[in-house]
Structure 1
Amino acid sequence: MAARAKNRQFPTAYKLKAIKRVERGEGVLPLARELGISRKILHDWIKAWKAQGPEGLNRKPGPKPGPRKLKAPATYDDKRSALARANARIAELERLVGRQQMDLDFFRQALRALERPVAQGKPASASSKSSKP
């Protein structure tokens, strides 16, 4: 595959032709390969066309205009509360695992109690069945 030049600029008419081909039903990937551009660039052109029309296609490269959407830096309290939430979730899951282990132990004992009389060749009597181990 040929090396791609960085920061290539395409005329608006060229971009419009590509967008119209996609709108007529051509696949984005085959068209992008044919034009020698990435799918992302073609999708960006389509998105800009739908949002701003031809002006969106003439935008200069670089950061998009408008206010930046920056995340506020995490504070010490945020980190501590995240740690506290994680510890609470761990404790909840440990309780759940313990409860499941108790259920498994109970059912294993019940199964053993039912299998014992069968192994001895006698049917289980009502008096031998008990909820006590």
Structure 2
Amino acid sequence: MGSQRIINEEDKLSLLQRMEAGENISELAREAGISRQRLYDWRDRLRLTGSLKARRRGRPGKASVVSSEPLQQSGEMALPPEEKALAKTRRRISELEQKVGQQQLDLDFFQEALRRIRDDHRQDTAPGGTESSRSSKK
């Protein structure tokens, strides 16, 4: 696919500020040599995490916790309190959606297990089934 262009954080912030100021996103992306989606991804990452630091490639570790405080020493622009609250709320919603999803998987699993047990029980008690019979020896 070709080499990826590496853009430093200052340039990313500059592009995002121009994007927020209303400049044409397609033209900004073309100028920077990136996709429009990359600009949106940066914008969303900045809004959610307060940072544009590059993520490690691959699957994130279990203990990866996103800081709600922007990193001032890296030259990042500070988020207003309402943006911080919004980011925190979005993270909480994401956590709850994951929990609901896991609960739904558990519920589906147990409903299917119960259905199979009931089906097996019905087959065992049906006429001609494999139900135990009395011993002929007494």
Alignment TM-score > 0.5, same fold: no
**TM-score tier (shorter):** 0.3 to 0.5
Structure number with bigger Rg: 1
Relative contact order, higher structure (CA 8 A, sep 6+): 2
User: If the length of structure 2 is used for normalisation, what is the TM-score?
Assistant: 0.41
